[in-house]
Structure 1
Amino acid sequence: MVDRPNKPMALATTPGLPPQAQVNITHNNSRVSAVLPTGESVEVLLYGATLISWKDRAGSERLWLSEGAKLDGSKAVRGGIPLVFPVFGTAPEHKAAGNLPQHGFARTSKWEFLGKSTSESQGKNESSVKLDFGLSAATIDDETKKLWPYNFSLIYSVSLTPTTLSPASRSPTMDIAQVSVTGLDEAEYIDKVDGAKAKKQSGTVSITGETDRVYTPAKGPSEPVVVSEGGRTVYSVVRDNLEDVVVWNPWTDKAQGMADFEPKDGYKNMICIEAGAVKGWQKLEKGDTFEGAQTISV
C-alpha cells in the first residue's frame, strides 16, 4: 500500500448540502470515474493511472483516444493522458534505467485508488473533485522490481473543475491543418525527427508533417502554452515545476506503423502536448520528494 497521510475517504451525501461530485469504481474495479454536479466528467483507468476521458457538461469528449487503444491492461494505452516514470523514452546508457521499457513502467502498472476529495468554490456555486492514485515499490509486480529495485512511492492526483483539468493533455481537434501552438517562441528544442538536432523556435508551431520535439520554453513553466484551432483557443496549459514540453504528431507513416493507432488518419484530428522533466534527470537525495503538475484550461 502507498503510505499517504490524511488519505481521503468516500464522502456521503448529506441532506441539505449542495450537490457534490459523484465518484464510482466500475469495470470490475479497473476504472474510476467522477462526474461534477454541472456535468463535467473524467474517467481514469487504474492500469497506468491513465486518464482516458475528459468530457464537458454537454458530454463532448476533450481527449483523443485511439479507437484501437487497449483498455484491458495488455499494453500501454494509445492516447488519453499517460503518466511517464521513471524515464521518458529510453535511456540505454543510464545504469539504473537502461533496461526499462519505453517511458518506464508507471503507465503499465496497476495503481491503487486512494480516494477522493471534493470542494465548492465560495460564492461561485461550483464544485470540484480530486482523485488520488498511488504506486510504490511494494505494489509493482516482481518482474518490474527486477528492473527497478529501488524504494519509491508515487502519488498522482487528477483534479477537475468545470473549466480546468489537472494535470495533463492530449488534445482532440477537428483539423490539424488549422492548429497552432503559441507560448514556445524563442524556446530551445530538440528535434527528434531531424536527428535530435538542437534548434530554436521562431514564432508559432504548426504541424505539417511528423513532429516529435522536446521544448524548454524560454519564459518558464508559468507561461501558458496555448493550443488554438483556426484562431480560436482550445486549451491553455500552465505547468508547475515541469520545465519541458513535448509536441508530437505521428503523421502518415508513423500512424500506419502503429497497430493500436486507429483510425490511421487520426493524426489529422489530434496533437499531443506533454509537460514533463524530459531533457535531464531529477536527482533526489534519500527521503527527498519531487512534485510537478500542470493545469489545462478551456
Structure 2
Amino acid sequence: MVGRAHKPTALASTPGLPPQPQVTFSDDNSRVTAVLPTGESLEVLLYGATVISWKDGAGDEKLWLSDAAKLDGTKAVRGGIPLVFPVFGTAPDHAQTSKLPQHGFARTSRWEFLGKSTSESESAGGAKAAASSSSSKATAAAADQSVKLDFGLSSANLDDKTRALWPFAFSLIYGVTLNRDSLTTSLVVTNDDDKPFDCQVLLHTYLRVEDISNVSITGLDGASYVDKVDGAKTKTQSSGAVQITGETDRVYTPAAAPSAPVVVVEGGRAGFSVTRDSLGDVVVWNPWADKAAAMADFAPADGFRRMVCVEAGSVADFQTLEPGDAFEGAQTIAIGSRAAAA
C-alpha cells in the first residue's frame, strides 16, 4: 500500500472518554506496572507476586523497600508486600508444613499474570455516559477510576522439590487493586486436592514512615497477642496506642471485627488505615537496630526507623480446607483523608 503523505496520527484515547489506566510490562517481563490517569502507580514483581512499589498521585512512595532487596528472583524480597503461604514462620510441630522454609513458598515462586480489569465509581459511570457533552465530567470519571491486577499460582507451577515438601494440589488467585487513595490486596486459596490441607495466610506489608519514634498504632485496644520477642508469651494489649521503642514482633488477634481499622498515626496524623476481610490477625513487626544489622538484605542500617510492618493475616492457627473448599482474605490500606476518616 502506498503511504499517505497526510495520514492522520493515531489517537491517544477515544474522543469523549476519560484517559484509561495504563498497564505495562518491564522489558524482561519480570514485573508489571499500573498507573492511573491521576498519577497513582503500582509495581508488582512476578517473583512472589510481590508489590514492590505503591505511589500516590504526587509520586510519594507508601511502601518501604530495602536498598539491598533482591529483585532478581534469587531470594524473597525484603520490603513491599511479600505473600506468606502456606505457613507463617516455621512450624516444626505441624506435620503438613514442618518441612517448609520460613514463610512458605508463595513469596519465592514465579506467579502468572492473569490480566487486568478497570472500574469506576457509580458517579464516574454517570460522568462517563455524559462525557461527550462535558470534558469536566470526563475528567471526574478519570479521577474515580481504579485498576485491578490478577495473579495466579498453582501446584502445577511449583518445582518438584517444593511439591515434595508440601504435596497438595491447590490454586491461588491474588488480586491487587489500585485506587486513588487506597490499595486492596486479596488472596483466594482453593483446595484442588482429594484430601484436606491446613494453611496460613499473611500479607506481609512494610509501610513507609518518616520516623518510627513518632509512630503509634491504634485499633488494637484489648487485643490478645503473642509476644514473639518475649518467649511467645500471650498478653493483652492495654488501652492506648501501640508504640514501637525496640524490637517488636507481635501477633495480635484484635477484639474488634476485621472491618474496624487499625490506624498508623505519625506525628499526630493518620497516615495509614488497614481494614481486613476474613483475616482475623494483625502482625506488628519492626526489627530495630540489632536484628536489622544481622539481616544481609536489610539496608540502610537505620532503615528500621523508616518502616513498620502492619500485616493482615490468618496465622494464629491453621485454616483447614476440605477438598473443593476455598478461603478468601483481603486487606485495604487507605491513605490521606481516607485514613483520617477511618
TM-score interval w.r.t. the shorter chain?
A: over 0.9
- Equivalent position of 2:241 in the other structure: 204
Distance in 2 (alpha carbons) for counterparts of 1:220 and 1:228: 20
- Equivalent position of 1:230 in the other structure: 267
Distance in 2 (alpha carbons) for counterparts of 1:87 and 1:193: 19
Deviates more, 1:203-212 or 1:115-124: 115-124
- Equivalent position of 1:182 in the other structure: 218
- Equivalent position of 1:5 in the other structure: none
- Equivalent position of 2:199 in the other structure: none
Distance in 1 (alpha carbons) for counterparts of 2:60 and 2:100: 37
Distance in 2 (alpha carbons) for counterparts of 1:170 and 1:227: 12
- Equivalent position of 2:82 in the other structure: 82
* Paired residues for 1:247-258 under 5 Å: 247-258=284-295
- Equivalent position of 1:43 in the other structure: 43
Distance in 2 (alpha carbons) for counterparts of 1:143 and 1:60: 40
Matched position secondary structure for 1:75: coil
- Work out the percentage of aligned pairs sharing the same amino acid: 68
- Equivalent position of 1:6 in the other structure: none
- Equivalent position of 2:169 in the other structure: 151
Matched position secondary structure for 1:16: coil
- Equivalent position of 1:265 in the other structure: 302
Q: Give the alignment's TM-score, normalised by structure 1.
A: 0.94
Amino acid at match of 1:162: R
Matched position secondary structure for 2:326: coil
Distance in 2 (alpha carbons) for counterparts of 1:33 and 1:103: 26
Structure 1 residues 90 and 13: alpha-carbon distance in aligned structure 2, compared to 1, 3 A threshold: farther
Amino acid at match of 2:329: G
2:270 aligned with 1:195: no
Distance in 2 (alpha carbons) for counterparts of 1:164 and 1:273: 15
Runs of 4+ in structure 1 off by over 3 angstroms are 12-16
Deviations 1:69-94 (A, max 9, x none): 00000000000001110001001111
Q: Structure 2 unaligned runs (5+)?
A: 1-11, 125-140, 186-202, 336-342
What's the CA shift for 1:14?
4.1
Distance in 2 (alpha carbons) for counterparts of 1:215 and 1:82: 19
Instruction: Quote the RMSD (CA, aligned, Å).
Output: 1.2
Amino acid at match of 1:53: S
| Structure having the larger proportion of residues in helix | 2
Deviations 1:147-182 (A, max 9, x none): 111100000000011011012532111110000000
Deviates more, 1:72-81 or 1:113-122: 113-122
2:183 aligned with 1:165: yes
- Equivalent position of 1:280 in the other structure: 317
- Equivalent position of 2:123 in the other structure: 123
Distance in 1 (alpha carbons) for counterparts of 2:316 and 2:262: 18
What's the CA shift for 1:17?
2.3
2:264 aligned with 1:246: no
Matched position secondary structure for 1:290: strand
- Equivalent position of 2:70 in the other structure: 70
- Equivalent position of 2:252 in the other structure: 215
Amino acid at match of 1:288: D
Matched position secondary structure for 2:316: coil
Structure 1 residues 121 and 197: alpha-carbon distance in aligned structure 2, compared to 1, 3 A threshold: same
Q: Structure 1 unaligned runs (5+)?
A: 1-11
Distance in 2 (alpha carbons) for counterparts of 1:273 and 1:123: 32
Amino acid at match of 2:255: A
Deviations 1:121-151 (A, max 9, x none): 2324211000000000111112111111110
What's the CA shift for 1:13?
5.6
Distance in 2 (alpha carbons) for counterparts of 1:278 and 1:217: 13
What's the CA shift for 1:15?
4.2
Deviations 1:24-48 (A, max 9, x none): 1114011001000000000000000
Distance in 2 (alpha carbons) for counterparts of 1:14 and 1:282: 47
Deviates more, 1:118-127 or 1:91-100: 118-127
Matched position secondary structure for 2:312: strand
How many residue pairs get matched?
A: 287
Deviations 1:244-292 (A, max 9, x none): 0000000010000000000011001110000000110001110000000
Amino acid at match of 2:154: S
- Equivalent position of 2:198 in the other structure: none
Amino acid at match of 1:270: M
Matched position secondary structure for 2:229: helix
